[in-house]
């Protein structure tokens, strides 16, 4: 019987593992089918994690010490794929795995994250991390005093375009329609920004470049013509796929309350609607999708899990 099962080995899961074990829970296992570290290991450069002051620190460089630190206090890492988390009537959680085996746990912290949706244009995968990005907060600074393109028409795309407009000389906002799916106030601010050019009724066709990275993007306009926009950076914001599959029950329902977008509803203590079940990191509602925030979530969830186990078992 595990005191706590942690599903996912990114920054949230690793921090949860560190805090639960160091905080007194004896039997804690983190289930991560691959190597720990999470999505951030794909980033070529990290400048905004507090204390990580080394020059040209990559996401992989940042995350390499984390597992060793966590395991020093007793965290176990099992390289298994969890297929479902369910809860019995007696309050014990069942962790089912792809190999047909299962574990029982007194508490569970789910940190399976989310993945940015791809916009689907040529060169998007080839140049991802070398000029194509899904995080303005992470990568916007690299394009200070340069021109960039933003793809998308929702709240996130417009808010990130406004953020980039403060750093970059010009932002081309590319959207496949002529109306935006965003708050009226946000739309008004975008239209009022002098260095944001709206490229509407335009579909991204191809990002192109060379060994040094992106040189520009070609978009198909409403009349069928192709426009080339020369920029070193392209930011795509077309939504996220939340990795919530482990919470889907046999009858197709979710184990806990979710938002309409598939994110886990939590309170400020990372508690879900199910006692003993916590969610942290990019899969929870309103997540800022930053490493430092995911780590904070993991710490909060871990402290609450310790309290829950102490009081209920």
Q: Which residues are catalytic?
A: 135, 138-139
* Cβ contact 55:45 at 8 Å: no
What's the half-sphere exposure (Cβ side, CA atoms, 13 Å) at 72?
A: 7
SS3 at position 85: strand
CA distance 41 to 34: 12
Dihedrals phi, psi of 248, to nearest 5 degrees: -80, 125
How far is CA 229 from its chain centroid? 28
CA distance 36 to 16: 13
What are the counts of helices (DSSP H) followed by strands (DSSP E) for the chain?
A: 7, 18
Q: Nearest to residue 249, comparing CAs of 259, 260, 239, 258?
A: 258
What does the DSSP 8-state code read for residue 143?
G
């Amino acid at each position: 019987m595990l005191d706590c099962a942690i599903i996912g080995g990114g920054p949230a899961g690793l921090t949860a593992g560190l805090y639960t074990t160091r905080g007194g829970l004896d039997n804690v296992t983190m289930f991560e089918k691959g190597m720990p570290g999470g999505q951030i290991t794909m980033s070529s450069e990290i400048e905004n994690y507090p204390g990580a002051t080394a020059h040209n620190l990559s996401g992989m460089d940042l995350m390499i010490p984390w597992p060793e630190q966590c395991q020093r206090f007793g965290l176990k890492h099992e390289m298994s794929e969890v297929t479902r988390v369910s809860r019995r009537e007696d309050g014990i959680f069942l962790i089912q795995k792809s190999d047909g085996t299962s574990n029982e746990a007194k508490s569970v912290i789910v940190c399976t994250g989310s993945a940015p949706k791809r916009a689907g244009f040529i060169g998007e995968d080839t140049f991802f991390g070398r000029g194509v990005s899904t995080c303005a907060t992470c990568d916007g600074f690299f394009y200070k005093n340069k021109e960039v393109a933003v793809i998308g028409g929702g709240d996130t795309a417009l808010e990130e375009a406004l953020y980039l407009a403060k750093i970059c000389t010009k932002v081309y906002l590319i959207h496949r329609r002529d109306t935006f799916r965003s708050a009226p106030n946000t739309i008004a601010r975008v239209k009022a920004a002098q260095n944001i050019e709206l490229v509407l009724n335009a579909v991204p066709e191809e990002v192109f470049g060379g060994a040094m990275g992106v040189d520009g993007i070609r978009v198909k306009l409403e009349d069928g013509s192709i426009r080339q926009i020369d920029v070193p950076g392209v930011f795509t914001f077309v939504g996220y796929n939340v990795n919530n599959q482990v919470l889907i029950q046999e009858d197709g329902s979710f184990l806990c309350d979710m938002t309409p977008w598939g994110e886990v509803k939590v309170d400020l203590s990372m508690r879900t609607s199910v006692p003993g079940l916590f969610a942290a990191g990019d899969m929870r509602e309103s997540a800022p999708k930053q490493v430092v925030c995911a780590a904070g979530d993991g710490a909060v969830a871990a402290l609450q899990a310790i309290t829950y186990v102490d009081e209920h078992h």
